[in-house]
Amino acid sequence: MPGQTLFEARVQPQPFDLAAEHTRLAALGPMVGAIVSFVGQVRDTPLTLEHYPGMAERQMQAVLDEARARWPLLGAIAVHRHGSLAVGEPIVLVLTASSHRAAAFQAAEFLMDWLKTKAPFWKQAGGEWIAAKGDDDTAADRWGDR
Amino acid sequence: MPGQTLFEARVQPQPFDLAAEHTRLAALGPMVGAIVSFVGQVRDTPLTLEHYPGMAERQMQAVLDEARARWPLLGAIAVHRHGSLAVGEPIVLVLTASSHRAAAFQAAEFLMDWLKTKAPFWKQAGGEWIAAKGDDDTAADRWGDR
Amino acid sequence: MIRLLYFAWVRERIGKAEEALALEHPASLRQILDRLRTVSAGHAAALADPSRLRAAINQDFAGFDAIVHPGDEVALFPPVTGG
Amino acid sequence: MIRLLYFAWVRERIGKAEEALALEHPASLRQILDRLRTVSAGHAAALADPSRLRAAINQDFAGFDAIVHPGDEVALFPPVTGG
């Protein structure tokens, strides 16, 4: 239906369907001119992702709300997987829809930067917990606080 | 097969398949950590897109080569449609794959900015030719020349 | 009473994912940590260095000066590494 | 001889998508435009204001000072609006 908006955060063990999520945003109406997606996938070595159920969804939704307050978005979807993931498997999906490409690009990059620093997930590889990267804080900080 | 790269530009009247193109980049190997996609779709009013066959593919490929020289990309795909397109139909697809999300995001945004100013396509709506926007030149100019 | 949740290596060192702690009056997170370190050698090891820890109260990030109230859900974990 | 291609409103005003033009010696794009404006009223109208036109020689963008050689493919069109 035209004129709707759609902002949704999910945590799930199973893979997500990029095309299906994209179609949901593409169908939001005649104002949609630009849809950006980001898919993160497991690189180099298998991972196990632990998360904080409840807080994860809550913080992901808060990050979506923040993006919505900063950019003229018509929709945004964030899906984060948990559990054991092989190399090449998708971990995280972010999609943004806007009338204009700059807003869609910036909001998608913002969502990824903030999810990396604000969503309670922890990666384990080869029995070791992966340390947080200062790079991620730097990337998140460039958006400033509000 | 792992370790491959894939850089491809196409012009076509028919719709593209986001999921299929995404899968081609996702399959490039264990180095792929981030895949960004951009889909532009017709907003507000139906469009007819004219293009310069030959030059369109050539300039799109040149823009891909430029992105590849600037960022550590493992792959990039650009597909641009021509012909008559209804509201809500996809016009242009850009996909980038890299080990790192910043490179994938920046390269995708660069590709869209440069395609808008360097690919020989012309949009007509309601019998009128749409004028080029200074905004697009400004967006393209921020990447500088090399 | 408060509910405590542990994640990642904090959970592993403490040896459990959650537990309850008696709390009748509001106290700072720092005071809660001080108490928890006395519970077991695992607690002491996991919570030794607050600079390596992050915390949430009722599913929102909180600093160690934040006040915990009876009935709160308190989580302790390393800096997040999702995305 | 060169091959000329027109696109969008340039094509519409000239009334054709392509044509050939006799050229025995290299000439600037500006000189080619000057000659084309004398071909018909449509050519004159389409090519009146070079600031509204863009050009390509052999499928690469070119300024109006660029030199056209016999055998080249020359295209004239408005600023592009794809993407």
CB of C1 closer than 8 Å to CB of C74? no
Ordered by start, the domain boundaries in chain A are: 6-125
Q: What percent of chain A has pLDDT over 70?
A: 97
Write down the pLDDT at residue B146: 62
Q: Is the predicted pLDDT of residue B2 greater than 80, yes or no?
A: no
CB of A72 closer than 8 Å to CB of A20? no
Q: Is the predicted pLDDT of residue D22 greater than 60, yes or no?
A: yes
Which among B27, B18, B107 is positioned nearest to B68, based on CA atoms?
Answer: B107
Band (pLDDT 50/70/90 cuts) for residue B137 is: confident
Nearest to C81 among A40, A52, A130 (CB): A130
Q: What percent of chain D has pLDDT over 90?
A: 100
**CB-facing half-sphere around the CA of C51: CA atoms within 13 A:** 0
Q: What is the mean pLDDT of chain A?
A: 95
Which among B121, B71, B117 is positioned nearest to B96, based on CA atoms?
Answer: B71
Which among D55, D49, D51 is positioned nearest to D67, based on CA atoms?
Answer: D55
Answer whether B129 touches D (CB < 8 Å). yes
Q: What percent of chain B has pLDDT over 90?
A: 86
Write down the pLDDT at residue B138: 87
In angstroms, rounded to a whole number, what is the distance separating the alpha carbons of residues A143 and B9? 33
- What's the mean pLDDT in B100-111? 98
Query: Cβ separation of B117 and D59 shorter than 8 Å?
Result: no
CB of A34 closer than 8 Å to CB of A99? yes
Query: Do D and C make contact, counting contact as 3+ CB pairs within 8 angstroms?
Result: no
Chain D CB contacts of B51 under 8 Å are 7, 82
User: What is the side-by-side order of every strand in the sheet holding A121-125?
Assistant: A83-85, A47-51, A121-125, A128-129
- What's the mean pLDDT in D4-18? 98
- What's the mean pLDDT in B87-116? 97
Q: Using H for helix, E for strand and C for coil, what is the string for A75-120? A: EEEEEEECEEECCCCEEEEEEEEECCHHHHHHHHHHHHHHHHHHCC
* Per CATH, domain A6-125 is 3.30.420.40: no
**Per-residue pLDDT tens digits for C11-67:** 999 999 999 999 999 999 999 999 999 999 999 999 999 999 999 999 999 999 999
Band (pLDDT 50/70/90 cuts) for residue B87 is: very high
Which among C5, C4, C61 is positioned nearest to A58, based on CA atoms?
Answer: C61
Chain C CB contacts of A118 under 8 Å are 61, 80
pTM of the model: 0.95
Q: Name the strand (E) or helix (H) holding A20.
A: helix A18-26
Write down the pLDDT at residue A146: 62
Q: Is the predicted pLDDT of residue B144 greater than 90, yes or no?
A: no
Which among B8, B7, B79 is positioned nearest to B40, based on CA atoms?
Answer: B79
Contact pairs from chain A to chain C, CB under 8 Å:
73
Nearest to B33 among A19, A37, A43 (CB): A43
- Mutate: best of B1, B17, B41, partner A, most A CBs <10 A: B41
B65-97 burial, b for 16+ CB within 10 Å, e for fewer?
Answer: ebbbeebebbbbbbbbbbeebebbebbbbbbbb
Query: Cβ separation of B31 and A44 shorter than 8 Å?
Result: yes
Q: Is the predicted pLDDT of residue B4 greater than 70, yes or no?
A: yes
CB of A140 closer than 8 Å to CB of A117? yes
Q: Is the predicted pLDDT of residue A17 greater than 80, yes or no?
A: yes
Q: What percent of chain B has pLDDT over 70?
A: 97
- What's the mean pLDDT in D19-39? 97
Q: Is the predicted pLDDT of residue A2 greater than 60, yes or no?
A: no
Adjacent-strand bridge partners of A75: A6, A97
Band (pLDDT 50/70/90 cuts) for residue B63 is: very high
Q: Return residues 4-63 of A near C (CB < 8 Å).
A: 40, 49-52, 54-55, 58-59
Q: Is the predicted pLDDT of residue B65 greater than 90, yes or no?
A: yes
- Mutate: best of A1, A24, A36, partner B, most B CBs <10 A: A36
Q: Is the predicted pLDDT of residue A1 greater than 50, yes or no?
A: no
Write down the pLDDT at residue D19: 98
Write down the pLDDT at residue B135: 83
**Per-residue pLDDT tens digits for A69-95:** 999 999 999 999 999 999 999 999 999
A112 burial via Cβ count (<10 Å: 0-12, 13-18, 19+): buried
Write down the pLDDT at residue A3: 65
Band (pLDDT 50/70/90 cuts) for residue A135 is: confident
Domains of chain D: 2-77 (3.10.20.30)
Write down the pLDDT at residue C78: 98
Q: Is the predicted pLDDT of residue B3 greater than 80, yes or no?
A: no
CB of A37 closer than 8 Å to CB of A114? no
Answer whether B131 touches D (CB < 8 Å). yes
Nearest to A88 among B30, B42, B108 (CB): B30
First to last CA, chain C: 34
Helix axes B101-118, B134-141, angle to 10 degrees: 140
**Per-residue pLDDT tens digits for A90-132:** 999 999 999 999 999 999 999 999 999 999 999 999 999 999 9
- Chain-centre distance of CA A123, in angstroms? 16
Longest dimension (CA), chain D: 38
Contact pairs from chain B to chain D, CB under 8 Å:
73
Q: Hey, what are C19's tokens?
A: 């537990």
In angstroms, rounded to a whole number, what is the distance separating the alpha carbons of residues B25 and C81? 25
- What's the mean pLDDT in B9-13? 98
